[in-house]
Amino acid sequence: MSESDLLSRIIPMFGVSAFAGQGVVVPPGDDAAVVTARDSVVVTTDSMVRGRDWRDDWSTGHDVGIKVVAQNVSDVAAMGAVPTGLLVSVAADPETSLDWVIDLTRGIAFGAEDARCPVVGGDLSSAPAGVVIVAVTAFGDLEGRSPVLRSGARPGDVVAVAGDLGWSGAGLRLYELGLVDTTPSRPARDHTDREKAVSVLQWYHRSPRPPWESGPVAADGGATSMIDISDGLVRDGGRIATASGVELALDEQALREHFLAGPIELALGAEDGWRQVLAGGEEHSLLATFPEGSVPVDERAPWTVIGRVVEAGPEGPRLTVGGAVPSVTGWDHFAG
């Protein structure tokens, strides 16, 4: 199949016409898309690489599509913005099956629709044998809000998280332990049955649905800093601490109670599960700091208070859990 044939299959799947009038002036198909922007534009990019970010024996093309959109939309949300457009680039070994590419496209289209955000273009390229890379760029609109940076946390603020912690990392760990779940639809959150707990965690690893709507809610509520947790609570919380020059003093009891108890502890046990709560990557939940008393009340995706911001001590900016620096560090692509 030629590149143009493939594009003529892919582009209609994004149904951009559904978004006509919502900022898309020229849809995919020309040299570039044209979108309207009212204000400063939030822009971010994140890619996934076969073998590094997913394995074909665990994840379908559809899963990869949902996940790459989620990663990007949560980065937009972590600035306090709503997503307004996506660009999708795929570089694939020509042996990659058409079915896989179509499945990927369906997953991207599903994620984009869920985020109410049109795919406005992209690129197709071939890659050496075995290589498949999916790269997404997302645009966002602050709708008049000031961007929420990593650097605004102040002593006296509370630290809160929207979404779960450790689910994706626990799901990955369960795959690594040899459990293979292929539940076709999203399983219910289960706190009593181990098999169902395994299934819900592996499902979240394959196709996360972080609470990205909470990003703008946090910004409106006066969040002083925010980040999406892609490399684990400890590493990403540490980034807020460093950028803000403060200590994030997290409450071990609150973390264990809200995030370890339940599916993670049931599926992995307390020790391994706790590591995932602290250091599991790819969760894409939002971590933010708020002035005391202004944590937003959002029933759809509640913010859970997990600690406080305090003045950095002699050790400098850092993140502590129960008063100590955790021994786990989180994900780093190049640390080996």
Ligand X SMILES: Nc1ncnc2c1ncn2[C@@H]1O[C@H](COP(=O)(O)OP(=O)(O)O)[C@@H](O)[C@H]1O
Residue nearest ligand X, Cβ-based: 230
User: Binders of ligand TPP among 67-86, rule CB under 6 A?
Assistant: 71
Nearer to ligand X among residue 146 and residue 294 (C-beta)? 146
Cα 197 vs. chain centroid, distance in angstroms? 21
**Residue whose token pair is 């949902």:** 66
Nearer to ligand X among residue 227 and residue 260 (C-beta)? 227
Residue 150, marked binder: yes
Is 60 a residue that touches ligand TPP (CB under 6 A)?
A: no
Is 180 a residue that touches ligand TPP (CB under 6 A)?
A: no
Contacting residue, 281, 307, 317, 326, with ligand TPP by CB under 6 A: 281
User: Binders of ligand X among 64-93, rule CB under 6 A?
Assistant: 75
Residue 332, marked binder: no
Contacting residue, 19, 42, 46, 203, with ligand TPP by CB under 6 A: 46
CA dist 107 and 61 (Å) reads 7
User: Binders of ligand TPP among 185-224, rule CB under 6 A?
Assistant: none
CB of 172 vs ligand TPP, minimal distance in Å: 6
Q: Could you give the C-alpha distances from 149 to 177, 203, 225, in angstroms and in order?
A: 37, 31, 5
Residue 228, marked binder: yes
Sign of CA dihedral 237, 242, 245, 249: positive
CB of 72 vs Mg ion, minimal distance in Å: 9
Contacting residue, 19, 28, 46, 70, with ligand X by CB under 6 A: 46
Helices (H), 184-269: 194-206, 214-220, 233-244, 252-255, 263-268
Beta bridge partners of 162: 286, 303
CB atoms within 10 A of CB 327: 10
Is 164 a residue that touches ligand X (CB under 6 A)?
A: no
CB of 87 vs Mg ion, minimal distance in Å: 15
**Residue whose token pair is 């040899």:** 178
CB atoms within 10 A of CB 268: 26
Query: Which residues here bind Mg ion, judged by CB under 5 A?
Result: 46
Residue 331, marked binder: yes
Helix 233-244 to helix 270-279 angle (10° resolution) is 40
Vertex 115, ends 114 and 116: CA angle to 5°?
Answer: 90
Residue of 182, 221, 215, 214 lying closest to 198 (CA atoms): 182
- Count of chain residues binding ligand TPP (CB under 6 A): 12
The partner in contact with residue 55, picked from ligand X, Mg ion, ligand TPP, none with C-beta cut-offs of 5 to 8 angstroms by kind, is: ligand TPP
CB of 230 vs ligand X, minimal distance in Å: 4
Q: Decide: 71 and 230 in contact? Cβ < 8 Å.
A: yes
CA dist 27 and 21 (Å) reads 11
CB of 85 vs ligand TPP, minimal distance in Å: 19
Q: Could you give the C-alpha distances from 235 to 50, 81, 202, 326, in angstroms and in order?
A: 24, 23, 22, 10
Site for ligand X, rule CB under 6 A = 46, 75, 230
Site for ligand TPP, rule CB under 6 A = 46, 53-55, 71, 172, 230-231, 281-282, 331, 333
Binding site as annotated, residues for Mg(2+):
31, 44-46, 75, 123, 228, 231
Binding site as annotated, residues for ATP:
122-123, 150, 230
